[in-house]
Amino acid sequence: MEIKASKIFLGVTKLTSNTAVQGNLGWLSCHAKQRLEVLRFFYKLENRRSWNFNVIKLFRNMSVEHLMQPGISKELFFKVIKSKLRILDEQLWFTKLWNDNSNVNGNKLRLYRRYKKDLQPEHYVTNAIPRHLRSNLCKFRCGTLPLSVETGRYTKPPIPLEERICPFCNNAVEDEIHFLINCDIYSDSRFNLFHRAKLSPLDH
Ligand SMILES: [Zn+2]
């Protein structure tokens, strides 16, 4: 393929000697390039300052040095590695969930983190439900429904949290709990919802 492309580049016919074409371009042959790649990889494996060293560091950072011993089965190796990666991911995720450094009122996941404790997929995500319902449920859980508590963040200047009052009842901050449990304007819908969920609105 490379020779064919070279002949097109040089403007000669396919009958031209491959050896001559190689001589004209002074290129290494495909075979030589392949050998070079194999040896390059060997060098990386042997060179502690690069790939090999970084992999050893990774084993150490993950506290799984014991997996570097020879004789460990493939199943056990990947089982431990996957489990460890999940634990590390979950720790990082949990730290982000509770990180309030960028907002005086706490991050917008204040509600979400009250009930979400692990990095497991939600039932509503794994079960087939209509797309618009999944979207609304996700917005509710992630704190991005257009309630005053959310829209007040984006006015200029932002409205203080305690002043992001419900425009319907003027009784309280319009946050997700107010929307779901307390606001009178949704009483009828809420009655139906709690009835279908076989809960009393007073059970919360
Ligand atoms: Zn209200």
- For residue 153, is it within any domain? yes
AA identity, residue 138: C
User: Residues 106, 39: one domain?
Assistant: no
* Rounded distance from Cα 57 to ligand 1 centre (Å): 55
- Distances 28 to 6, 7, 18, 25, 133 between C-alpha atoms, Å: 12, 15, 12, 9, 60
Sign of CA dihedral 90, 92, 98, 102: negative
**11, 31, 46: which is the final residue of a domain?**
46
* Rounded distance from Cα 100 to ligand 1 centre (Å): 27
**46, 66, 83: which is the final residue of a domain?**
46
Is residue 196 within 8 Å of 186, Cβ to Cβ? no
- Tokens representing 166 are 């419900």
Q: What is the tens place of the pLDDT at every residue in 138-185?
A: 888 888 899 999 999 899 999 999 999 999 999 899 999 999 999 999
% of the chain residues with pLDDT over 90: 25
Residue 157: is the preceding peptide bond cis (ω within 30°)? yes
- For residue 63, is it within any domain? no
- Tell me the C-alpha distance between 114 and 136, whole Å: 19
Number of domains in the chain: 2
pLDDT band at 79 (very low <50, low <70, confident <90, very high): very high
* Rounded distance from Cα 51 to ligand 1 centre (Å): 59
Q: What is the tens place of the pLDDT at every residue in 84-120?
A: 998 998 898 888 888 888 776 677 788 888 888 888 8
| Tokens 């005053």 -> residue | 148
User: Residues 102, 199: one domain?
Assistant: yes
DSSP conformation class of 181: I
- For residue 123, is it within any domain? yes
User: Residues 22, 109: one domain?
Assistant: no
- For residue 34, is it within any domain? yes
Average pLDDT over residues 126-143: 88
Ion ligand 1: residues, CB < 5 A: 166, 168-169, 183
* Rounded distance from Cα 189 to ligand 1 centre (Å): 14
> What pLDDT does 199 receive?
65
Domain that holds residue 151: 98-203
- For residue 107, is it within any domain? yes
